[in-house]
Amino acid sequence: MARKKEISNRRLLGIAGLGWMFDAMDVGILSFIIAALKTDWDLTVEQMGWIGSVNSIGMAVGALLFGILADRIGRKNVFIITLLLFSIGSAVSALATTLTFFLVLRFLIGMGLGGELPVASTLVSESVPADRRGKVVVLLESFWAGGWLVAALISYFIIPKFGWQTALLISALPAFYALYLRMNLPDSPQFTSLKPKDRLSALESMKRLWTGENARKTTMLWILWFCVVFSYYGMFLWLPSVMVMKGFSLIKSFQYVLIMTLAQLPGYFTAAWLIERRGRKFVLITYLVGTALSAYFFGNADGLGLLITSGIFLSFFNLGAWGALYAYTPEQYPTNIRGTGAGMAASFGRIGGILGPLLVGYLVARDQDISIIFTIFCVAILVGAAAVLFMGQETKNKELV
């Protein structure tokens, strides 16, 4: 019986992880496409910033809408809807010939992506034992690094020779396979055991997030999510473009970002190893502080050696922190508001994802030094770490109810 359950958990991790990987491929390729579109469509830096921000606006809407919906119709159903929305939007965006049409599609893709991620982590959290839950959710998040790595490879080998449209098609088609696998996936046992009378309305679910002890948890999560998403999308969507601004060719910038991306995997795996040994708070605070220091040195790097080294540590610590964040978030709430709580925290965080890329575009257009921009992100990450330190509760081995 235990062996059968172990196989079932691995299958769940694999199927959920595939969708997660294809989502990451899209976000990763987008960062390279922004640099390519600047040349193809003669974009200004403000327009480049809007591409990333519109994607985050869609993610904010999707996380809010689909998080609430997951508490009403189930985690699995929302899981399928969001991947379908993302897959179709990504494929059609390869046909875009104007910035306006591309932005509309990026909004829809963002909705699918923003809705899927918190719902996927909630489904996995509710389906594995408490003593392995954190590790498994971080391993789920590690598929993101695999997606970014594939995105970097596709961008390096495909975009220069075959164009960004081909790269988008390659990233979208495999997602339909993940959609097929998902059809036979069972829903969360905790959701299916929930009595109809315990399924709250959307308004009541949102009110519960701000009552009693939930209010402190919600405040902590919203600060944490905002700071992490603000800094991540501000830094990583602009990474290839920042390399170009530092004097490297487009091809060289893709090559160096690929090297940095490789560091994401050990970041996840070390976080997965530590999270059940030292706890969620320890991993989150340690990896966030590591991210902040790496961001500072990356922004102030003059030579190639320091730039690559700090970029590697930036990927290592930042993505390890993301893994812990997705493990920590669903553990804050009971089953009947878990999807809403995780979705709304992610949705509020996406506001940071809207502002981050726009801020970079605004400051670059006004000739602000890259070091100042990355110092801002450094401070934001430290604020998120402080929220966990002073307001967060440890949830290691906590049984979900």
Q: Which residue, 362, 346, 341, is CA-closest to 232?
A: 346
Contacts 24+ apart (CB under 8 A), 173-179: 173/91, 174/22, 175/19, 175/22, 175/83, 175/86, 175/87, 175/90, 176/87, 177/18, 178/15, 178/18, 178/19, 178/22, 178/83, 179/19, 179/80, 179/83, 179/84, 179/87
- Most confident region among 94-108, 154-168, 254-268 by mean pLDDT: 94-108
Q: Do the Cβ atoms of 177 and 363 come closer than 8 Å?
A: no
For 28-41, the DSSP string reads HHHHHHHHHHHHHS
- Write down the pLDDT at residue 342: 95
CATH of the domain at 228: 1.20.1250.20
- Over residues 12-30, the pLDDT tens digits come to 888 888 878 888 888 778 8
Q: Which residue, 89, 111, 354, is CA-closest to 226?
A: 354
Query: What number of residues does the chain have?
Result: 401
**Is residue 170 in some structural domain?**
yes
| 269 class by beta-carbon count within 10 Å (0-12 exposed, 13-18 middle, 19+ buried) | middle
The structure's pTM equals: 0.87
What is the residue range of 247's domain?
8-181+214-391
The continuous run of DSSP H or E covering 274 comes out as helix 264-275
- Write down the pLDDT at residue 181: 72
Residue type (1 letter), 364:
V
- Over residues 79-135, the pLDDT tens digits come to 888 888 888 888 899 899 899 999 999 999 999 989 988 998 899 899 888 888 999
- Write down the pLDDT at residue 103: 94
Residue 385 and residue 346: Cα distance in Å, rounded? 16
**Is residue 204 in some structural domain?**
no
- Write down the pLDDT at residue 142: 87
Residue 343 and residue 341: Cα distance in Å, rounded? 5
State the average pLDDT over residues 251-262.
77
- Write down the pLDDT at residue 7: 47
- Write down the pLDDT at residue 250: 65
State the average pLDDT over residues 230-250.
79
DSSP reduced 3-state for 222? helix
Domain count, the chain: 1
**Is residue 134 in some structural domain?**
yes
- Write down the pLDDT at residue 174: 67
**Is residue 355 in some structural domain?**
yes
**In this predicted structure, which of 216-225, 330-339, 355-364 has the lowest mean pLDDT?**
355-364
Mean pLDDT of the chain: 87
Angle at 48 between CA 265 and CA 81, to 5 degrees: 60
**Is residue 300 in some structural domain?**
yes
**Is residue 226 in some structural domain?**
yes
**pLDDT tier for residue 6 given thresholds of 50, 70 and 90:** low
- Over residues 349-386, the pLDDT tens digits come to 989 988 888 888 888 888 888 889 999 999 999 999 99
Tokens of 171: 């990233």
**Is residue 209 in some structural domain?**
no
**Is residue 192 in some structural domain?**
no
* Phi, psi at 132, each rounded to 5°: -125, 0
Is the per-residue pLDDT at 236 higher than 90?
Answer: no
